[in-house]
Amino acid sequence: MYEAVHAHPDGRSTASRFARTAERYGYDGVVVRADDADPHYDRLREACAVDVVDAAEIVAPDPQRASGAVGNARTKHTVVIVSGGTNALNRFAVEQARVDVLARPFEGAVAATSADENDNRGDGEVNHVLAKAASENDVRIEVNLGPALRTRGGHRVRHLSKLRQLKRLLDHYDAPYVVSVNPTSHLQLRAPRELAAVGDEIGLGDEWIREGLDEWGRLVAQNRERRSESFIAPGVERGRYEEDD
């Protein structure tokens, strides 16, 4: 199971601190969604017993500016994530096969503190059209458990209602999804068993949450295979006697 983290400078903890904490909590790896983090991934993998994955999270005000950033990130990073939060950005992300994950479709850009999260109200929605497009384009929709853990009152209640509705849509269209708490600090990390328990408590199901944490790892393995020199097409790889034209 993997968690996708916001490392310094986008977050308050370094990639190294996240990796060591994730190792202690029983994760197999962390996806570092910070284009400028530069955490020396190979060195970190050797120092820790967890995988450390390079990712880019695109935060843009509109689809036009997001499009150029996605194209640039796709050639450089193992995982490409688009921050949603508006209907236009959500639709853009799920219609792009170049995008791996639509993050925070309801909230938008990640909040720096739990206090900020109570005021972080995006107007984005996920409907049947978007869920179907995500399924067709193999774009994972992120199930953000952060507000379930770090907000209170009416904001938390509304978020939980949206998560339950999202689960029904994802299940109906068999759309791929990932689960994250969107931690900006290693102190916000939670062990997989804790998140599974939360999922069970709020009506999403413990196994469903575990599947979403596992999906990060499957995505990473798939993209690394596609970026390898031996990859030609899904199910087809260049063998020892295969030569380029």
pLDDT in tens, 178-235: 999 999 999 999 999 999 999 999 999 999 999 999 999 999 999 999 988 655 555 5
pTM: 0.89
Tens of pLDDT, residues 25-80: 999 999 999 766 566 888 888 888 899 999 999 999 999 999 999 999 999 999 99
Q: What is the CATH number of the domain that holds 50?
A: 3.20.20.140
Q: Is residue 242 part of a domain?
A: no
Q: Is residue 11 part of a domain?
A: yes
Number of domains in the chain: 1
- Strands of the sheet with 2-5, listed across from one edge: 2-5, 29-33, 51-58, 79-83, 101-103, 140-144, 177-180
Q: Is there a contact between 30 and 53 (Cβ–Cβ < 8 Å)?
A: yes
Q: Is residue 245 part of a domain?
A: no
